Structure 1
């Protein structure tokens, strides 16, 4: 790709992009439902394989909006066309491993073809991730939709691997692209908010039509504390650190790939897992959780915390010791929660996140007094 000017001043998120995100609110809900119905190891794998192309369509649209002016008529129509493909993918998700596999694959291919057309004026655009999506992973997704369940998962997993590997394979070409450092952190933060919104649905949806006895209200409150804790860990500390790192990075290309494209895939997947865990937990606070719901709730939280350790390592060369310790504690607690009531599992996890945020807030204040920057990434 040739270098593209981004204009003067900070690039702002457009209204078209925000409207586009509404499609992915629905898509995340559909992925959550897929995981809700099958949350054993096979179900988790299938949900991940289905989520990657949804996420990657969003990433492709976000990156092309960063390197191009998309606030004209052509740019808006392109974003809406990809949004239509995303809507078709979301509609197909409940039956993606059944009768709607072709629709899921074809909708993905349509989105990738539109994205390639959108960046087609950039020299050599097809010789990069956009070309891989349109010419390799898109056809693989359609082919997967045409075959039975086992080969379908294999072909879709291969397509996902091709997409995820493309930025690495074409990193020298991507080095020529000029990225705006303000736009991307805001966009990826907004997608994380979409996933956190799904956690609110997971809290309220299961109990909205029930009689709401006191134990349920307590479970709703504890689940909301957990959701707030997840929000605080990102937007209270990490979001500013990510923008700081991107503005000062010697290679924005590498930081975008490792921290945003890959790191946020893990962060968002962790939040979705927690959201599905809420759906299995808050309605019956007195019942013991099975291994599946508990694994989603605690395992998703641990993945979220470990993802911050990874992103901080990529940004500053060090791992966050507090988040690593909290992730280890969550994993140690997981098997101990199996026989306890759901209310207790929620309470313990809420206590861990509140304690972690309180400790990190103390570290931020100490860092502010000492004048150091970026300590709580």
Structure 2
């Protein structure tokens, strides 16, 4: 009997070609925990700086955090091994993420140099991992070489940014992130000849990250209530409505998106993945806005807070609708191929309208009205699911 290797050579995973279902492992769940801290820091910072510059800054900081997670996730998708080397490399990837969390709160101020170097360190590790994969599996070498070039240029821009003053420093970050995001697009024609991505594991991985940011929404609400000196009925109602928004977004995403596989093809996995970025930022922004509202002692709702919450709900619903268009449809799929995504997009437009027309709204009224477009999706989902016959006795079709 062959023994397990403690330091295995990475090889391209072929689970999808062999119809093997892959599940998320305990190590990946532990890896995700460090991102909980970063997301919490970014959400808290946004809640304290709700303005157009604050939102732009949040986007500039969230993208590198998300891209770091994507890098580790997709490397494991391609080359995961169950040995000591995998555990060591995962831990090494966690260290720069922890540093990102340390520097995140004032990453556009005094700690911007630390944030840039932390991101660069994370990129250096993932570049080494991709090159290692290409070295041991020649089929992947053309992809790993392109990754090394594109990601390497981004890394140099982040390192170089520490020698420049703001705002030039942040412009260099933006260019570096753009190169990071575009680089995988240049490899799609090569990756089309490689083993396919797992349609069982990747949806689970992205779903777990959605859970992370939804969890931060709940944390933000609880933190906002806890910061109140005098708890009142109005505070409790606002907090409950904030939790309801998070719960509603969970309901809609996991009923309509997470349970289904993305379409096969050259571009669909990438589009499906990238659409999650604005969705995740929207969910975090909802939590930050609600946290600000709950913690505030003002009776009126500032315009910037109103726009943040309404706009974030709108973005989340519209992106969920677009995500539906990237998913495969089985013969027994109960949702309508056009109506279902259109309901999400229409709901998002309604949320935008509430942000536009909600001048003078109290926080309770705005949050209550924003539940309406979410509730419509929940009702539609429940209706089509419970009209569906049971797959087998005792098994519910609605998860």
TM-score > 0.5 by shorter chain: yes
Mapped partners of 1:286, 1:67: distance in 2: 51
- Name the CA distance, whole Å, in 2 between partners of 1:286 and 1:30: 24
**What is the alpha-carbon distance in structure 1 between the residues aligned to residue 149 and residue 23 of structure 2?**
27
Alpha carbons of structure 1 residues 284 and 108: separation in structure 2 relative to 1, 3 Å: closer
Q: Which runs of 4+ in 1 moved over 6 A?
A: none
Residues 320-350 of structure 1, C-alpha deviations (whole Å, 9 max, x = no match): 1111111111111112223111111111112
**1:95 pairs with one of 91, 103, 106:** 106
Matched, 1:273 2:285: yes
Does residue 185 (structure 1) correspond to residue 203 (structure 2)? The answer is yes
Q: For residue 178 of structure 2, what is the aligned residue in structure 1?
A: 161
Match of 2:234 in 1: 215
Match for residue 315 of structure 2?
303
- The offset of 1:22, in angstroms, is 0.8
Query: Is 1:5 the counterpart of 2:26 in the alignment?
Result: no
Kept in 1: contact 2:255–2:381 (CA 8 A): no
Counterpart for residue 237 of structure 1: 256
For 1:86 and 1:198, locate their aligned partners in 2 and report how far apart those are by CA, in whole Å.
17
Unpaired stretches in structure 2, ≥5 consecutive residues: 1-9, 329-336, 392-397
Deviation at 1:284, TM superposition (A): 4.3
User: Which stretch shows the higher mean deviation, 91-100 or 308-317?
Assistant: 308-317
Residue 283 of structure 1: how far off its partner (Å):
3.2
- Match in the other structure for 1:250: 264
Higher helix residue share: 1
For residue 196 of structure 1, report the CA deviation from its aligned partner.
0.3
Kept in 1: contact 2:13–2:77 (CA 8 A): no
1:143-158 → structure 2 map (5 Å cutoff): 143-158=160-175
- Structure 1's unaligned 5+ residue stretches are none
The answer to whether the 8 A contact 2:93-2:122 is kept is yes
TM-score by length of 1: 0.89
1:272 and 1:59 map into 2 onto residues whose CA distance is 17
Partner of 1:282: 294
Contact 2:48–2:292 (Cα < 8 Å) also in 1: no
Using a 3 Å threshold, how does the CA distance of structure 1 residues 130 and 300 change in structure 2: closer, same or farther? Answer: farther
For residues 146 and 94 of structure 1, do their structure 2 counterparts lie closer, same or farther at Cα, with a shift above 3 Å needed?
farther
Tell me if 1:321 matches 2:342: yes
Bigger Cα Rg: 2
Q: 1:136 aligns with which of 140, 144, 153?
A: 153
Tell me how far 1:370 sits from its aligned partner: 12
**TM-score relative to the length of structure 2:** 0.85
RMSD of equivalent CA atoms: 2.3
Give the drift of 1:355.
2.9
1:361 aligns with 2:374: no
Counterpart Cα distance in 2 of 1:312 and 1:229: 17
Residue 40 of structure 2 aligns with which residue? 29
Contact preservation (8 Å) 2:96, 2:122: yes
- Provide the secondary structure at the position in 2 that maps to 1:99: coil
**8 Å Cα contact 1:289-1:339 kept in structure 2:** yes
- Distance between the aligned counterparts of 1:354 and 1:188, measured in 2? 23
